[in-house]
Amino acid sequence: MSPQVSIVIPNHDYGRYLDACLDSLAAQTLPVQRMEVIVVDDASGDDSLERAARWQACHPWKAFTVVPLSRVGRPGPVRNAGLRRAQAALMLCLDPDDTLAPEALVRMVEALDNAPHAHVASSDYFEHRGEHIRRVNIPDDDSNVLPTQNPCHSASLFRREVWEATGGYTAATAYEDWDFWVRAASCGMRRVRVPYPLVHYRLRDDGFWVGASADDAKAKAAIVRRTPAFFAPEVRGWAVAILRGETWMPAFPRGVIPTAEALRAFRDDCMARLGPQADSLFTALPGWPRKTGESSRSGETGQSG
């Protein structure tokens, strides 16, 4: 019989955190025989493989697999390598420096069991920055949120159909989690919130998120480019300008894709300061509405359903 839940851990040189991560999985209240654990190692130069081998020799789960890779350098394809080997109907990707509360998997599995219309279960979480810890309460599933920011932690439980429909994670953007949830939502897949802090998420100065933040504007624009129908026309035009390197187009705050309203307000401000010729900058962008004030009302949040 296949396991119920597959947990994929993408790892590169995080061996010093791996034991705590795996300890948190061994402490789950979900029976260990219903769990499969897959560690995908991205050519680590530390003792990651040695630590994983010790767990493999005496693991408690139904299955424990170690997948060594040649250096990839992006977490999305590393996760994909593990997900391709996953046997369960439910999947979760857990970064090696993060941990799960003991009841995490049980609560997320129950959430999906109780919401057959939903495909993803995401919980609240604790964010750790050095000694500072704060609880983050995520919003309920809301079509107005995902087109502008990512409300979900990467350690969300999702049905296999999500993986199959989206084609997995991408290396085309540093915000591969956000892109994954956008593509899932664009396929009509819904999320259910688990209102308990079940994940301990650690932000480290040497983490991948640092580079992702530095590449914020292009990373956000790449999400729009990959799933354009999910976003309003003005947002598609904004993404084109960002990826072209148009310096007059603002990036907007880190981790925020602008709304159509914000972009129209920016255009109106440009026209007030520079005159009607400023409008030509916008209408020259592929995807931007051809006429002043024209917009796709059904695309204000990028979703049609």
Q: Domain-by-domain residue ranges, the chain?
A: 5-211, 229-299
What does the pLDDT average to over 67-75? 94
Out of 3.40.190.10, 3.90.480.20, 3.90.550.10, 3.10.129.10, the CATH code matching 5-211 is: 3.90.550.10
Phi, psi of 16 (to 5 degrees): -65, -15
Between residues 290 and 180, the one the model is more confident about: 180
- Which among 148, 11, 131 has a CA at the least distance from the CA of 71? 11
| CB distance 290 to 283 below 8 Å | yes
Phi, psi of 246 (to 5 degrees): -70, 110
Residue 293 scores a pLDDT above 60: no
Q: Is 79 exposed, middle or buried (0-12, 13-18, 19+ CB in 10 A)?
A: buried
What does the pLDDT average to over 81-101? 97
- Per residue in 157-178, pLDDT (tens digit) is 999 999 999 999 999 999 999 9
Residue 183 scores a pLDDT above 80: yes
- State the pTM of this model: 0.91
CA distances 139 to 3, 83, 159, 195, 285, Å, are: 30, 27, 20, 9, 33
- Determine the pLDDT at residue 207: 55
- Is residue 291 very low, low, confident or very high in pLDDT (cuts 50, 70, 90)? low
| CB distance 217 to 244 below 8 Å | no
